[in-house]
Chains A and B, each alone.
Chain A
Amino acid sequence: MSPVRELCEVLERRRVGAYQALTLVAPRIAEHARPGQFIHVLAGEDRSFPLRRPFSIHRVERWGGSGGPPGWSPGGSGGSGGPPGWSPGGSGAGLGAVEIVFDVVGAGTLALSRLRPHDVVDVLGPLGRPFTPPEAPTGCLLVGGGYGTAPLFFLATELRTRRCRVDFVVGAASAGRLLDAMEAKRLGHSLTVTTDDGSAGRRGLVTDQLPDLLARTRAGQVYACGPMPMLAAVSRVAAAAGVPCQVAVEEQMACGTGICFSCVLPLGPEEPTRMARSCLEGPVFDGTAIAWAELGHPELEKAVR
């Protein structure tokens, strides 16, 4: 389904640890959103002509229409009949909301952090290619770094309706930078926490725990979202273990619709690599498809949280 533009009423803005969560009434986006997709949010003064900001979808709430009880992402039985992919949401006639999580890092997120209930923001979505679900129920290891953990909650909810075992490993610089670890604990069969400074969980990086976790959970699929160096390291460890790995990248982006060519990243393995737009071909990629070494991040390959 094509993405849409919705003028969305702010339902709620709240603090989640060090981060902000923003819930937006967005029935048409909520109806079609899939884990790993993002919304592109415009907030700020008109005269300053701000660009939109992309955020992965943290949660989806759909209710009404089908008569089912309200709740996060009711989903479906998954699989029977329809094409492969995530289960469709509600009936389409109902209400719906999407939630994003962000860190206040600049003018755009500062404007978002000042929104109040009933304010209206202009949103495009759902955009991008979602995570691909496993073809049959299997163990899934979800790896998140900082607020990059956000889309993994939506993913975990959907995976559980598909009878997949879900194990979480989340990392951050310090305890305060972990995103809602208790929610990860509720959604997953297990939760492993790492922090750079040892203020929560084990001191070190998520990738330190990966080989052991992959062996112990016998996961058939890895999903990861977080900083690029983390995604590079997770992809490498998963590939070495022979486990498929999908990563959701966060690239700087202007349009979100494929026309500005800002959000590109190099895809291999063919040489020369091809510059793919992460808004259309991503943000979810196969970890082995990205030519990580070409990305030129100063810290890349120095695996971080």
Chain B
Amino acid sequence: MTAEGFGAPQKGAPKQPDLSVELCGVRLRTPVLAASGCFGFGRDMAGWVDLAALGGVVTKSVSLEPRRGRPTPRMAETPAGMLNAIGLQNPGVEAFCAGDLRFLADAGATVVASLVGRSPEEFGRLAARLDGEPGLALVEVNLSCPNVEHRGEVFATDPAAAAEVVAAVRQATGTPVLAKLTADVTDLVAVARAVVDAGADGLTLINTLLGMAVDTRTRRPRLAAVTGGLSGPAIRPVAVRCVWQVAQALPGVPIVGTGGVVSGENAAEFLLVGATAVAVGTGSFINPRAVVEVADGLERYLAAHGVGSPAELPALFKAER
């Protein structure tokens, strides 16, 4: 009746799968990461999960200077998901390096630092500042946060702008680079190809979808920022479609699938269509142990299907109905 043992893996399956995977040259303990913006900076979750046992922790996005974020209300519940307009609140890269990054490294976490800036030059300076920081395994370039002042800061809506940012980061760091893209575009494959050509080692698909909700009683937007990012199981089919499209077009490019992953089966869905790993986002808001429990569920799924490794799943996908 208590939390311990809830969702624990059921041992005794014929074959014990090895959950570890390689992402852009980095060995991950499991293919299940905590998604950016849905795990804070990791430190506040240390009481809920063993940070070292996770596939990785993608931090909340960090900018050069501290950002205060948007006014409240910042969140609205929607069918099978939620809207958020946090506005990239973060303490700035210096405080991040001195505090949260050091804490995560000491805790043995595999750290993916998410970077956000207002120009390619800012992204480059951020990447240079973080290059060589102990404990940093990868960087994720947040090209697609919808909660910014100007639509022009959503670099991932334009292949050339996205490539320019990734090239600046690529030049500034020796750490493997993931580019996080949005599905709010006409041709996602064109953006994906542009950032890979510019030096991205892998892709994270997808960010939240731009959405809006109105309180019909007050006749006001439910978010102070009016629009926000939609996340949760509501967007999972869109995310799976994006991973599938890009994996088809760019075989061999590692993809972290994210969007409404709340179970091992959800993770398997992304891996089957070509993702190397998945990231759990909004699921952690409902269940602080979601990242662990999704990995446990994936292990059970693999064992039940006689699959030895998550990396085998894409080849087992049967595309024809």
A260 with B38: CB separation less than 8 A:
yes
A to B contact number (C-beta, < 8 Å): 105
Residues of B within 8 A of A254 (CB): 75, 82, 84, 285
- Known A262-B84, A275-B89: A255·B73 in contact at CB below 8 Å: no
Q: Which of these, B68, B75, B89, B224, contacts A272 with CB under 8 Å?
A: B68
B3 with A6: CB separation less than 8 A:
yes
Residues of B within 8 A of A108 (CB): 77
User: Does B95 reach chain A (CB closer than 8 Å)?
Assistant: no
A261 with B2: CB separation less than 8 A:
no
A261 with B286: CB separation less than 8 A:
no
New A-B pairs, 20, CB < 8 Å, besides A49-B232, A254-B82, A258-B40: A5-B6, A49-B81, A49-B233, A49-B262, A50-B77, A51-B77, A52-B286, A252-B73, A252-B74, A254-B75, A255-B284, A255-B288, A259-B284, A259-B285, A262-B72, A262-B84, A262-B86, A265-B72, A280-B44, A296-B71
Complex Cα gap A259–B37 (Å): 7
Residues of B within 8 A of A107 (CB): 77
Chain A proximity mask over B42-54: 1 for CB below 8 Å, otherwise 0 = 0011011000000
B77 with A28: CB separation less than 8 A:
no
Within 8 A of B (CB), among A252-305: 252-255, 257-265, 272, 275, 280, 295-296
Complex Cα gap A70–B45 (Å): 35
User: Does A2 reach chain B (CB closer than 8 Å)?
Assistant: yes
Residues of B within 8 A of A9 (CB): 1
User: Does B39 reach chain A (CB closer than 8 Å)?
Assistant: yes
User: Does B14 reach chain A (CB closer than 8 Å)?
Assistant: no
How big is chain A's contact interface, by range?
A: 35 or more
Residues of A within 8 A of B125 (CB): none
User: Does A18 reach chain B (CB closer than 8 Å)?
Assistant: no
A7 with B6: CB separation less than 8 A:
yes
User: Does A224 reach chain B (CB closer than 8 Å)?
Assistant: no
Within 8 A of B (CB), among A1-21: 2-9
Highest count of chain B CB atoms <10 Å: which of A49, A52, A264: A49
Complex Cα gap A261–B232 (Å): 16
Residues of A within 8 A of B48 (CB): 2, 257
Residues of A within 8 A of B234 (CB): 49
Complex A-B: 9 CB contacts under 8 Å = A5-B2, A6-B3, A49-B286, A255-B284, A255-B286, A257-B48, A259-B44, A261-B40, A280-B44
Residues of B within 8 A of A296 (CB): 71-72, 224
Residues of A within 8 A of B174 (CB): none
Residues of B within 8 A of A295 (CB): 72
Residues of A within 8 A of B2 (CB): 4-7, 28
Residues of B within 8 A of A52 (CB): 285-286
Complex Cα gap A3–B79 (Å): 28
Complex Cα gap A108–B76 (Å): 13
Cβ of A42 to closest chain B Cβ, rounded Å: 6
Complex Cα gap A112–B68 (Å): 35
Cβ of B195 to closest chain A Cβ, rounded Å: 27
Complex Cα gap A135–B10 (Å): 50
Complex Cα gap A258–B47 (Å): 12
Residues of B within 8 A of A264 (CB): 69, 72, 74, 89
Chain A residue nearest to B284 (CB atoms) is A259
B82 with A51: CB separation less than 8 A:
yes
A251 with B80: CB separation less than 8 A:
no
B75 with A257: CB separation less than 8 A:
no
Highest count of chain B CB atoms <10 Å: which of A5, A257, A260: A260
Residues of B within 8 A of A262 (CB): 72-75, 84, 86
User: Does B289 reach chain A (CB closer than 8 Å)?
Assistant: yes
User: Does A124 reach chain B (CB closer than 8 Å)?
Assistant: yes
